Amino acid sequence: MGNFFKDNNLVEIKDERFIVDLMYARPENVTMHPVYEEVGFGKKAYVHRDVAKCLVGVSKKLKDLKLKMRICDAYRPPVAHRRILDLLPIEGLFAPTAERSAHCHAVAIDCCLTDERGNNLCFPTKVDAYDKNLARKLAFGQTDDFYKHFAKAAADFYDEKYQREIYNRELLKSIMFNAGFEGIRSEWWHFQLPEGISKYPVFEWSEHPNKKKGV
């Protein structure tokens, strides 16, 4: 049996400038479930080799700025994406299918900047716009308060009360854009390879009986 990651040109993020802390591998996310653990995927972050090449430039810039980056999501197995949709069947919150999610094509990461000790810099929202109380409301289909909060996640959100947060957001965007990534309007933390969904296939990972979890 071949190695799924090697066979599909997927590589693990290991650079010391990146702190791997996958939000869907723990319950502190909008689903309130450790989805990656539930499907047996584990806590390691993988991306397509072409993404990894771009991250080399990101790492160099982070070193110059004396910063690090927290990787909150990377390659997302379609089985995990489908699990997320089952947990939160709310239209517009996630890509409607794995085929529409750049994460399932291994060409996207969700991230934020930290200081060298790993403390997150301030941003208009947390990554994924996570808020414990709002996540509980989402679980009961109560979306109004979440979407009011989610408005601050827009890449062009502006409010003079958030000057420092917006400065950090723009710094992150500059680092990522200069390294070859593009963003999306609705999520300041999401970056992907241009034309990634059309250029790269969906990678259908599944756990095999003789495969260790997270390997």
- Whether 206 is covered by a domain: the verdict is no
Burial 82-117 (b: 16+ CB within 10 A, else e): ebbbebbeeeebbbeebeebbbbbbbbbbbbbbeee
Quote the number of domains for the chain: 1
| CA atoms of 51 and 74, how far apart (whole Å) | 10
Phi first, then psi: what are they for 48, rounded to 5°?
A: -65, 150
Give the CATH number for residue 78: 3.30.1380.10
pLDDT computed for residue 2 by the predictor: 59
Q: What is the mean pLDDT of each run of 10 residues along the chain (215 residues)?
A: 85 98 97 96 97 98 98 98 95 92 98 98 97 93 94 97 98 98 97 95 75 42
- Whether 212 is covered by a domain: the verdict is no
- Whether 204 is covered by a domain: the verdict is no
- Whether 60 is covered by a domain: the verdict is yes
- Whether 215 is covered by a domain: the verdict is no
CA-closest candidate to residue 106, choices 3, 202, 208, 209: 202
Chain position carrying tokens 């799924």: 4
- Whether 180 is covered by a domain: the verdict is yes
- Whether 211 is covered by a domain: the verdict is no
Domain span holding position 12 = 4-199
- Whether 207 is covered by a domain: the verdict is no
- Rg, the chain, Cα only: 17
